[in-house]
Amino acid sequence: MATDPSRLAEARMDTSSLYREEIVTDRKVGTLRILAPITADGAPDAARPTIYQGEAQLMTSMGPLPISFDVDAKSLAEAIDKYGEAAKVGVERAMRELQEMRRQSQSSIVIPETGAIPPVTGGGKIHLR
């Protein structure tokens, strides 16, 4: 499917909500994404808070499931300290969402309309006595 060039021309970034992104990881447990607010000229924007987002993977029978969650912190050191608890909350939320999706898929059984399945009739050559 080709992208409509006229729609790309309409895409505009919001210059009042720009962030510079930095990744921090220990290469063992997880990753922290640091979103530092900036102005349109790239200068730090002290009027908005820095956002810390954690990332982890939950291993499932279908492979790794990426989990993303906010870490409520004022500094990198605080975000590192709070990572474990925030990850636990993020995994619990993901598990609830998976259970809800599973419940919805189980309750969406398609029942054929009346007459859609031909009736089973006799007429075969094998007869049981």
Q: What does the pLDDT look like over 78-98, one tens digit per residue?
A: 999 999 999 999 999 988 988
pTM for the model stands at 0.69
Q: For the chain, give the DSSP string.
A: ----HHHHHH----GGGEEEEEEEE-SSS-EEEEEEEE-TTS-B-TTS--EEEEEEEEEETTEEEEEEEEE--SSHHHHHHHHHHHHHHHHHHHHHHHHHHHHHHHT----PPTTSSPPP----S----
Q: What does the pLDDT look like over 105-118, one tens digit per residue?
A: 887 666 666 665 55
Average pLDDT over residues 99-128: 67
